[in-house]
Amino acid sequence: MTITHQPSFGILMIDDEASFLRSLSIALERRGGYNHLYRCQDSREAMDIIAREPIGLVLLDLTMPHLSGETLLKQIVEDHPHIGVIIISGLNQLETAVNCIRLGAYDYFVKTTEEDRLIEGVRRAVQMQEMRLENQAMRRKFLTDTLEHPDVFADIITQDKGMRSVFQYLESVSGSSQPVLISGESGVGKELIARSLHTLSRRPGPLVSVNVAGLDDNVFADTLFGHHRGAFTGADKARAGMIEQAAEGTLFLDEIGDLSLNSQVKLLRLLQEGEYYPLGSDRPKRIRARVIVATHQNLEQKQQSGEFRKDLFYRLRTHQLEIPPLRKRQGDIPLLLHHFLDEAAREMNKSCPTIPKELPVLLANYSFPGNIRELRALAFDAVGQHRGKVLSMESFRRALNLSASAVDSPDNPAASLFDPEQPLPTLQQAADLLVDEAMRRAQGNQSIASRLLGISQPALSKRLKKKESGPEDG
């Protein structure tokens, strides 16, 4: 069975006391969830281990025979400046601590300090190192504009630059153990993105998806944490929760914005401590899965209004990305339309219909409130009604007519349409501007332009002829 290393880089512990190395290893594994550990009892071997192994963080004792911790700190900082160093000393001396920080140490702890502070300090250092590695990877990808694993995204049909940036970001953060927040309107494909991230992470466990919308606090806890036999009335046998089922894999929580405040507290504790209690149990279990959450809601607004916990919001947004809506990916509409028409034709055992040349223009002027999911439904409906050689546009026209607005409209259109420092156009000038814009968006197609304007095609044709002939004399 493949074991997932946590973190992705190694943590090297250097101390001449074998008993302290053992106890520190146990604490890091049990309390921190870290298993990518290396021990060094002879300080003279430390630099060779660092050169040979993928070390990203060093926990260093100061008082050792042969090479002192201070000497090693200077060598590590000079030869491997990318490696973080935490000093763990038996001496509680302020001057020594300040000098170590000045030399480049990330933090300083005393061995007799309570274990919780030490584990939290290591956790902070690990997160800093992970963020540094991810930033390096992102800079490299954006500068070269490359994807290392394009095959992972084969099921996501797109040629959009914004989506390519999303893919590059996913590759950069795939090795992290931190949560990922995926935002985007309903129907943009957030679960596909979560699935791609899980594949990129190469975690040996499964992807387990849970839609948390509508779950009350008890059902949420039971779904995630599981329960022991007799934990509550009707619990006649033990049941593993989704966290346990996703062990060594990925736990995907969809519609996280709908979670109640009480359930938010439980999720926050899980992410902070890395531990949870199955219902009816007093023994904690460690979470070994990575957590990905998704929402179509604006969590920042929800936390400002008190509907979403601020501490959970900041914990979830360690890594965050937003999937652009379909109306901002107009170049993808023809690709997706072809794909869905072909899929529908195969499913209904029909020949794939020919697309009328004006259909992509019509769809480019539709706002798609349901995004990709809506386009798929329209395509399937059209193929279901299809009888001839050329695809009927009727179902698409109905969708356009039912839309409150064929294009994005701001909350206060009057505030953005006209410059308050400029004179207003006349009604005739405004009408001409509207006609020009409609014809531009419709790519010269009068039938589509008339629909955008809410007038008949003959009325639009009359306006265009009048416009071409110029104002009448007199």
User: Can you spell out the DSSP letters for 50-102?
Assistant: HHHS-EEEEEE-SS-SSS-HHHHHHHHHHH-TTSEEEEEES---HHHHHHHHH
What is the dotted CATH code of the domain comprising 145-324? 3.40.50.300
Domain 327-402 sits in CATH 3.50.50.60: no
Tell me what the mean pLDDT of segment 298-310 comes to.
93
Choose between 408 and 439: higher pLDDT.
439
Write the DSSP symbol of residue 41: S
Pick the CATH number of 425-469 from 1.10.3470, 3.30.70, 1.10.10, 2.60.40: 1.10.10
Give me the DSSP letters along 352-399.
PPBPPTTHHHHHHT---TTHHHHHHHHHHHHHHH--SSBPP-HHHHHH
Residue 193: count of CB within 10 angstroms of its CB: 24
pLDDT for res 417: 66
Cα–Cα–Cα angle for 8, 9, 10, nearest 5°? 125
Mean pLDDT is highest, among 50-59, 144-153, 407-416, for: 50-59
Lowest mean pLDDT among 4-8, 122-126, 211-215, 378-382: 4-8
List helix spans (H) across 234-367.
Answer: 242-245, 261-273, 299-304, 310-316, 332-347, 359-364
Question: 335-367, pLDDT tens digit by residue?
Answer: 999 999 999 999 999 888 888 888 888 888 888
407 pLDDT above the threshold of 50: no
Residue type, 347: E
Angstrom distance (rounded) from CA 16 to CA 65: 8
> Residue 217 has which token pair?
């606090």
pTM over 0.85: no
99 pLDDT above the threshold of 50: yes
291: which residues sit within 8 A by CB, 6+ positions away?
179, 180, 250, 251, 253, 270, 271
> Residue 441 has which token pair?
């968006």
Q: How would residue 402 be classed by pLDDT, with cut points 50, 70 and 90?
A: low
Residue 238 Rama label (left phi>0; alpha psi -120 to 50; beta): beta
267: which residues sit within 8 A by CB, 6+ positions away?
224, 253, 259, 312
pLDDT for res 143: 65
pLDDT for res 472: 52
Angstrom distance (rounded) from CA 346 to CA 176: 40
Domain residue spans in the chain? 10-134, 145-324, 327-402, 425-469
Residue 430: count of CB within 10 angstroms of its CB: 13
Which helix (H) or strand (E) covers residue 227, if one does? strand 226-227
95: which residues sit within 8 A by CB, 6+ positions away?
none
Whether residue 369 contacts residue 407, with contact meaning beta carbons closer than 8 Å, is answered with no
Whether residue 262 contacts residue 303, with contact meaning beta carbons closer than 8 Å, is answered with no
> Residue 111 has which token pair?
């061995």
Of 191, 194, 185, 183, nearest in space to 368 by CA: 185
Tell me what the mean pLDDT of segment 176-202 comes to.
94
Output the CA–CA distances (angstroms, integers) from residue 84 to 68, 107, 172, 472, in the order listed: 18, 9, 20, 79
pLDDT for res 439: 84
444 pLDDT above the threshold of 90: no
pLDDT for res 340: 94
Matching fold, domains 10-134 and 145-324? yes
Output the CA–CA distances (angstroms, integers) from residue 191 to 197, 256, 272, 339, in the order listed: 10, 13, 24, 19
Cα–Cα–Cα angle for 370, 376, 380, nearest 5°? 130
Question: 201-215, pLDDT tens digit by residue?
Answer: 999 999 999 999 989
Q: How would residue 406 be classed by pLDDT, with cut points 50, 70 and 90?
A: very low
Pick the CATH number of 10-134 from 2.40.37.10, 3.40.50.1980, 3.30.565.10, 3.40.50.2300: 3.40.50.2300
